[in-house]
């Protein structure tokens, strides 16, 4: 069995195609043959490291879909041959994985393999962001950073499905059409801060109800200034660099949130509830993941380099 392994932190060059022992499913686990793995900015952060909860040596990757090929003891509700997907299992850049059955969801027959893999991490994240972080209501205005990226495209579609208005931010002019195709009502080209005045113009001087900000320190202050009174700053750009602020610096009595994965799906029930809604959106055509590029699993280092270049759009996938 082979996997994408790192023995030290660094750039994409530290990623190696390594032979590892065959995994065996323990009690409560399923052995899964990888079908498609998703690439995430989290993966590049883990590789560059260190990231809390991870250490080297390790196998990269956290999401994907595949096929059950064996079951450990005490597994209920799964059978050999089932198509399954997962949203956070460390070491997902591997040909075969032993995964807790409680972390797996069945993929509906009318959802294809690539779509299933492409909507897991970003889909669960966007579902959490648009429900519990800030429950988007019809007519609400949301600012979406990196609106042509994986999370941004998913957020845009879910906000529109809930009746909201989207102001998308993209880093390059050529990404404007991608964000608009996903449903963004307005798209601003901005590679850093300074967009708050334009957001206020588009909202009749009031500001947005929520800003979904993965931009890091460069966009942090402008995101807050783009909000209306009691607006919500949903910040998930921790891998983009360190920042510090004092509560008294928050403008307009805004609410600040750092929504983390552990709170997206704290229970099996939450995982099933969120993925069921996501697959339902897919069936209705309200969520259509944009596959930005496909790579062989052996070429995962190239996928990382392309993602970090900021020239990609949509979801990057790895195929064994």
Dump the DSSP string for 189-217. E-SSS--HHHHHHHTTTS-EEEEEE-STH
- 253 within 8 A of 275, measured Cβ to Cβ: no
- Give mean pLDDT, residues 55-77: 97
- Give mean pLDDT, residues 30-35: 98
Domain ranges of the chain: 2-119+289-319, 122-262
| Distance of alpha carbon 107 from the chain centroid | 18
Q: What is the pLDDT of residue 239?
A: 57
In angstroms, rounded to a whole number, what is the distance separating the alpha carbons of residues 94 and 59? 8
| Distance of alpha carbon 8 from the chain centroid | 25
Q: What is the pLDDT of residues 227-248, one digit of tens each?
A: 999 999 999 976 555 677 778 8
Mean pLDDT is lowest, of 39-48, 142-151, 307-316, for: 307-316
Residue 66 has pLDDT above 70, yes or no: yes
| Cis preceding-peptide flag for 57 (omega within 30 of 0) | yes
Q: What is the pLDDT of residue 246?
A: 79
Residue 307 has pLDDT above 90, yes or no: yes
Q: What is the pLDDT of residue 14?
A: 98
- 84 within 8 A of 31, measured Cβ to Cβ: no
Q: What is the pLDDT of residue 285?
A: 95
CATH T-level fold of 122-262? Rossmann fold (3.40.50)
CATH T-level fold of 2-119+289-319? Quinone Oxidoreductase; Chain A, domain 1 (3.90.180)
């Amino acid at each position: 069995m082979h996997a994408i392994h790192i023995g030290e932190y660094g750039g994409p060059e530290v990623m190696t195609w390594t032979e590892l022992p065959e995994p065996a499913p323990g009690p409560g686990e399923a052995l899964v043959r990888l079908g498609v793995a998703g690439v995430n900015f989290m993966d590049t952060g883990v590789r560059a490291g260190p990231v809390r909860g991870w250490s080297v040596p390790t196998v990269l990757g956290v999401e994907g879909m595949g096929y059950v090929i064996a079951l450990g003891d005490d597994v209920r509700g799964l059978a050999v041959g089932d198509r399954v997907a997962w949203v956070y299992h460390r070491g997902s850049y591997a040909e075969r994985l032993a995964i807790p059955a409680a972390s797996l969801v069945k993929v509906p027959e009318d959802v294809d393999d690539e779509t299933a893999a492409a909507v897991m991490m970003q889909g669960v994240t966007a579902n959490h962001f648009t429900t519990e972080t800030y429950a988007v209501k019809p007519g609400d205005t949301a600012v979406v950073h990196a609106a042509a990226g994986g999370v941004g495209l998913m957020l845009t579609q879910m906000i529109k499905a809930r009746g909201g208005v989207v102001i998308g931010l993209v880093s390059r002019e050529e990404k404007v059409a991608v964000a608009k195709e996903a449903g963004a009502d307005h798209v601003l080209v901005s590679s850093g801060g300074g967009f708050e005045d334009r957001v206020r113009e588009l909202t009749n001087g009031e500001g947005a109800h929520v800003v979904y900000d993965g931009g890091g320190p460069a966009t942090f202050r402008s995101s807050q200034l783009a909000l209306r009174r009691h607006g919500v700053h949903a910040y998930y750009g921790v891998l983009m660099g360190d920042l510090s602020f004092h509560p008294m610096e928050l403008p307009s009595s805004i609410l600040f949130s750092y929504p983390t994965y552990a709170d997206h799906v704290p229970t099996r029930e939450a995982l099933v509830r969120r993925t069921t809604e996501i697959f339902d959106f897919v069936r209705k055509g309200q969520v259509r993941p944009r596959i930005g590029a496909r790579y062989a699993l052996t070429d995962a280092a190239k996928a990382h380099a392309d993602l970090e270049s900021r020239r990609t759009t949509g979801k990057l996938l790895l195929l064994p």
